[in-house]
Each structure stands twice: as C-alpha cells, then as structure tokens.
C-alpha cells in the first residue's frame, strides 16, 4: 500500500482510446488520480462529474486528472463522451495497478471475504511523491479532499 511522501509507482495503462498512458508522462505536474468501481453508475457519475466540474480549478494548480477503473476502454470511452469528461480514463481490467495502489482487495468491512473495488483518490506532487491519498472515500469526498490537497501543495510550492 502506498504511503504519504513515498514515490508513486509508475504504471502504464490504456486510456479510453486504447492509447498507453504512463504516470511518469506527467512528471513536473501534479496528478490527481481517482479510482472508481464502475463507469456510469450513480456514485461514479457523482465522482467523475465532480472532477469534471472542478477541472478548471485543478488546471490552475498545474495538475492533471486521471480516472482509473477495471472497465474496458470502450466502456470508458462511451462514459467519457456521455458525461463530457475532459480528462483521461484509464482501464485496469486486470486490476494490477488498483491492487498495487490499495484500491482493490479485501476491506475490513468485507464480511464475505471477496475482493472489492474501493473508491479512492491520490494526489501526486510534481516530483512524483504521494502528497495526499485516501482509500475508501465517498464520491464527493474524493473531489473535495483532492482539491484541498492541491491548494495545500500549491501554497507550499509558491
């Protein structure tokens, strides 16, 4: 599981168009990554549209947004178009990155002992370090907390 202040592990995943995206492509910028269980569902719509609505604010903090789920690129593309999302959505169908980052697996509240997807967010600073994170967060909580972290890191960088 990731820890605050540690380097964020690099990854490469296809976006909604099937093009590879690497975390290291964004070195020198802040990156907000949010993990969501399933495209085009109620909570995921609230989370993704919250980041969409705050996208101009996020851009002013020299940050990019990436959404990640186990949905296929085709599912993500349809959802991105339907909700007019201005950022890339990444497909982790094998859940490798989601598991490595702590968003896929067993939860303390999981009484049936099956792995599950935990809505999460991470803020990565310009140097590739984990500046803020929460695994297991509400849809609006992920947006608000990520924005607060960006403002803190923005003030610290200036």
Predicted local confidence at residue 68, as pLDDT: 97
Angle, nearest 10°, between helix axes 42-53 and 139-157?
Answer: 30
| 49 is an active site residue | no
Task: Classify 75 as helix, strand or coil.
Answer: helix
Q: What confidence tens digit (pLDDT) does each residue in 45-86 have?
A: 899 999 999 999 999 999 999 999 999 999 999 999 999 999
How is residue 76 written in tokens? Answer: 């993500």
Domain boundaries, the chain: 12-157
Predicted local confidence at residue 156, as pLDDT: 45
Predicted local confidence at residue 122, as pLDDT: 94
pLDDT along the chain (158 residues), means of 10: 91 98 97 92 88 93 95 97 98 93 65 65 95 85 90 52
Alpha helices in the chain (DSSP H): 42-53, 55-60, 73-83, 96-100, 139-157
Under 8 Å between Cβ of 7 and 128: yes
pTM of the model: 0.88
Predicted local confidence at residue 116, as pLDDT: 65
Predicted local confidence at residue 4, as pLDDT: 92
Under 8 Å between Cβ of 32 and 123: yes
Predicted local confidence at residue 35, as pLDDT: 93
Annotated active-site residue in 44, 103, 131, 133: 44
Strand duo 116-117 + 104-105: pairing: antiparallel
Under 8 Å between Cβ of 34 and 51: yes
Predicted local confidence at residue 113, as pLDDT: 52
What is the fold of 12-157? Glutaredoxin (3.40.30)
Predicted local confidence at residue 123, as pLDDT: 96
Under 8 Å between Cβ of 34 and 142: yes
């Amino acid at each position: 599981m990731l820890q605050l202040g540690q380097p964020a592990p690099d990854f490469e995943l296809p976006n909604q168009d099937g093009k590879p995206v690497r975390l290291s492509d964004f070195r020198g910028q802040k990156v907000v990554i949010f993990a969501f269980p399933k495209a085009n569902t109620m909570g995921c719509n609230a989370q993704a549209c919250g980041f969409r609505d705050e996208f101009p604010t996020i851009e002013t903090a020299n940050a990019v947004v990436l959404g990640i789920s186990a949905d296929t690129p085709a599912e993500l593309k349809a959802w991105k178009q339907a909700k007019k999302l201005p950022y890339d959505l990444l497909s982790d169908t094998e859940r490798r990155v989601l598991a490595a980052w702590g968003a896929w697996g067993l939860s303390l509240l999981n009484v049936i002992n099956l792995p599950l997807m935990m809505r999460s967010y991470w803020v990565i600073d310009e140097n590739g370090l984990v500046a803020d994170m929460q695994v297991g967060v509400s849809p609006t909580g992920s947006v608000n907390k990520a924005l607060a972290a960006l403002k803190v890191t923005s003030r610290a960088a200036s």
